[in-house]
């Protein structure tokens, strides 16, 4: 992965922080810790994302500093930084703390993803950094890239292997993002089902479609506990079923109707095909993935 230029400013910041860290580790007095905390806050505080962008660059070069920015004493500080990110002209709709991802990672993930542009030479670096911080829109972008690449593979087994790689990654991140995470995973399984349909692989088609529907059901089940996760992916359109959350014309029944339509297309001669097979739970899907089946 390409590396950003190590500027004199970044080097000076690293030296300053390391000096304070060394002083604190040698003598863990309240005064030394407070000095360190104040410096950490200074390097990560701003009403605009540029400071967070530069911090992401710093941590790209000096990953050993990451743990210091995640000290428990900085939890409220990072929650305050979430307020720097909101849709234009709607500051009250800023990012929210999530249950399974630290606010530090949410902020840095968004700072990196805001820099991502497919046409830029360092686009891959920014995207990978955003993914490392578990930014779901960056993860969705990676899936889109892998789906496009998979479609270009000359044979179905190669397409299947490429899509399976993306699904395996999404299985790890879906629980972190709850409803939108499982909707993205549902999209990935639908993408696999469409390729299996084109290849006339009925077993793979059935498995992929049932897995997609299991993800849809899990996403709906988690909706009430996913307020923050839904809010935090609402800033930019994503061409997946995630959009069910943000399009006023859609709802869960509409999404279910779409799945029913897919079922009719995939299994036209067997209307009860998917009804005769018990839909797998997400635990079952994950177990199958781990076993490679």
pLDDT mean over 192-197: 96
CA dist., res. 76 & res. 80, Å (int): 6
pLDDT of 289: 44
pLDDT mean over 220-243: 83
Q: pLDDT category, 272, cuts 50, 70, 90?
A: very low
- Average pLDDT along the chain: 88
pLDDT of 124: 86
pLDDT of 181: 95
Q: pLDDT category, 116, cuts 50, 70, 90?
A: confident
For residues 277 and 52, the model is more confident at: 52
Question: What are the pLDDT digits (tens) for 57-107?
Answer: 999 999 999 999 999 999 999 999 999 888 777 777 899 999 999 999 999
Residue 245 has pLDDT above 80, yes or no: no
60-78 per-residue burial string, b: 16 or more CB within 10 A, e: under 16: bbbeebeebbeeeebeebb
Question: What are the pLDDT digits (tens) for 166-180?
Answer: 999 999 999 999 999
Tokens of 260: 């029913």
CA dist., res. 94 & res. 156, Å (int): 43
Residue 21 has pLDDT above 90, yes or no: yes
Residue 1 has pLDDT above 50, yes or no: no
């Amino acid at each position: 992965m390409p590396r950003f230029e190590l500027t004199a400013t970044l080097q000076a910041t690293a030296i300053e922080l390391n000096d304070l860290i060394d002083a604190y580790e040698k003598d863990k007095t309240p005064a030394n810790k407070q000095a360190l905390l104040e410096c950490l806050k200074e390097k990560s505080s701003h009403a605009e994302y540029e400071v967070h962008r530069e911090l992401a660059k710093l941590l790209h070069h000096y990953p050993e500093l990451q743990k210091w920015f995640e000290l428990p004493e900085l939890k409220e500080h990072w929650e305050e930084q979430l307020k720097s990110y909101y849709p234009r002209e709607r500051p009250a709709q800023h990012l929210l703390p999530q249950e399974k991802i630290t606010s530090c990672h949410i902020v840095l993930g968004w700072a990196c993803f805001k820099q991502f542009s497919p046409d830029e030479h360092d686009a891959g670096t920014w995207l990978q950094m955003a993914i490392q911080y578990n930014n779901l829109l960056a993860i969705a972008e990676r899936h889109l890239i892998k789906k496009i690449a998979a479609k270009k593979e000359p044979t179905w087994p190669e397409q299947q292997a490429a899509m399976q790689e993306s699904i395996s990654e999404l299985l790890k991140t879906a629980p972190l993002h709850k409803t939108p995470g499982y909707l993205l995973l549902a999209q990935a399984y639908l993408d696999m089902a469409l390729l299996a349909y084109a290849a006339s692989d009925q077993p793979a088609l059935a498995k992929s479609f049932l897995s997609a529907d299991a993800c849809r059901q899990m996403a709906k089940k988690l909706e009430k506990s996913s307020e923050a996760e839904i809010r935090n992916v609402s800033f930019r359109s994503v061409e997946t079923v995630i959009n069910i959350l943000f399009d006023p014309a859609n709802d869960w029944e509409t999404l279910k109707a779409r799945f029913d339509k897919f079922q009719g297309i995939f299994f036209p001669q067997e209307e009860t095909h998917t009804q005769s097979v018990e839909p797998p739970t997400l635990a079952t899907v994950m177990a199958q993935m781990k076993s490679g089946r």
